[in-house]
């Protein structure tokens, strides 16, 4: 189908503005630009019962920030389910603030806590730092769930774009560590090591996420070209993993026995094909998968509801998936 009329108007507005794309800016300028755009495109932040800013330790002795959204009082007697959320931004831009409105919306709609994680960004912290931060945050959330009034048996992981990539990897690492998850909610995740799909070629320019920006993100994130073949960067087609203590390179793990997946893709997103292919990979491995293609939409549309009211349908579908996962756990 054609572009949603509101999406088409947004793309025309961006074209008319002549604002430089992120890949032509410095990293600091790109982060500032992304921060400024979030409140323009997204709905106003909804009020919640409580929002707490937290700090948690990670494996290298440092710490990362997180934000806990509570739609109502959490207690040991009536613990809340929780969604651990990882923001998008090409591993280079994005923050707790850029995804604040979306996290609030999900917390209110699904009646769950949302634990938003500020994993460390590239190029200051290159691959696999964000992967390590993701797993360390997930383990911390499981370990601290009782103290926070959360239900460790009803935790989901989710994220958009690069955050969706991290959520896919987090789901595999959680399985291997015996950390139960009830759902992986993947919003237009990046999953392939090399962007050579038909949708990348067809939608390389003019649809919000230029191919040059994608490659700029990845050049900031990966250490060497070999990282593109690591499954933690490319869960769809990566063939290698972390080097072992003996200096050998581990193979990619199997993808069976993972948490059920709810995957959203957009018709006019360069990442469309790899999202669809990843859903099929999970299905072939025996996992339960719901794949939703939102026609007329572009990359990052989950954060555009202010200007594109039809995004509400996608929000409602994601919220319904979270509620089902939490209710049946």
Query: What pLDDT score was predicted for residue 250?
Result: 85
Domains in the chain: boundaries: 5-328
240-243 vs 183-187, strand pairing mode: unpaired
Q: Is 161 a catalytic residue?
A: yes
Residue 319 has pLDDT above 90, yes or no: yes
Q: What mean pLDDT value characterizes the chain?
A: 97
User: Which is the catalytic residue, given 23, 99, 125, 299?
Assistant: 299
Residue 200 has pLDDT above 70, yes or no: yes
Describe the strand order of the beta sheet including 50-57 as a list of residue ranges.
50-57, 63-70, 113-118, 80-86, 150-160, 183-187, 261-268, 289-298
Cα distance between residue 204 and residue 187, in whole Å: 19
At 58, give phi and psi (nearest 5°).
-125, 170
Cα distance between residue 275 and residue 262, in whole Å: 11
CB 321 within 8 A of CB 288: no
User: Which is the catalytic residue, given 161, 200, 227, 230?
Assistant: 161
Query: What pLDDT score was predicted for residue 329?
Result: 54
CB 11 within 8 A of CB 3: yes
Task: Give the global pTM.
Answer: 0.97
User: Which is the catalytic residue, given 133, 227, 269, 273?
Assistant: 269
Residue of 264, 274, 240 lying closest to 314 (CA atoms): 264
Averaged pLDDT for residues 251-267 = 97
Best CATH choice for the domain 5-328 from the list 3.40.50.2000, 3.40.50.300, 3.40.50.1820, 3.90.226.10: 3.40.50.1820
Q: SS3 of 250, please?
A: strand
Q: Is 226 a catalytic residue?
A: no
pLDDT for 120-171, tens place per residue? 999 999 999 999 999 999 999 999 999 999 999 999 999 999 999 999 999 9
């Amino acid at each position: 189908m054609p572009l949603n009329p509101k999406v088409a108007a947004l793309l025309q507005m961006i074209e008319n503005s002549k604002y430089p794309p992120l890949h032509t800016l410095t990293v600091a300028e790109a982060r500032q630009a992304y921060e400024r755009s979030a409140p323009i495109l997204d709905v106003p932040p909804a009020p919640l019962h409580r929002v707490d800013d937290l700090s948690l330790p990670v494996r290298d002795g440092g710490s990362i920030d997180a934000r806990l959204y509570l739609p109502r009082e959490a207690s040991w007697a009536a613990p809340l389910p929780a969604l651990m959320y990882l923001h998008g931004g090409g591993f280079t831009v994005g923050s707790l603030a850029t995804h604040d409105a979306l996290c609030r919306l999900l917390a209110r709609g699904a009646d769950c806590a949302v634990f938003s994680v500020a994993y460390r960004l590239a190029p200051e912290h290159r691959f696999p730092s964000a992967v390590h931060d993701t797993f360390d945050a997930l383990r911390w959330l499981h370990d601290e769930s009782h103290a926070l009034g959360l239900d460790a048996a009803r935790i989901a992981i989710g994220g958009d774009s690069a955050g969706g990539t991290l959520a896919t990897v987090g789901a595999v690492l959680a399985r291997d560590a015996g950390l139960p998850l009830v759902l992986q909610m993947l919003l237009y995740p990046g999953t392939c090591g090399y962007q050579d799909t038909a949708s990348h070629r067809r939608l390389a320019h003019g649809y919000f996420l230029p191919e040059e920006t994608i490659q700029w993100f990845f050049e900031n994130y990966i250490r060497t070209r070999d990282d593109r073949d690591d499954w933690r960067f490319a869960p769809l087609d990566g063939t290698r993993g972390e080097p072992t203590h003996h200096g050998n390179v581990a193979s990619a793990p199997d993808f069976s026995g993972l948490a059920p997946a709810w995957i959203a893709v957009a018709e006019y997103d360069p990442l469309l094909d790899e999202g669809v292919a990843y859903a099929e990979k999970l299905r072939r491995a025996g996992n339960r998968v719901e794949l939703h293609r939102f026609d007329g939409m572009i990359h990052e549309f989950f954060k555009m509801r202010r200007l594109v009211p039809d995004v509400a349908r996608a929000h409602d579908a994601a919220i319904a998936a979270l509620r089902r996962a939490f209710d049946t756990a």
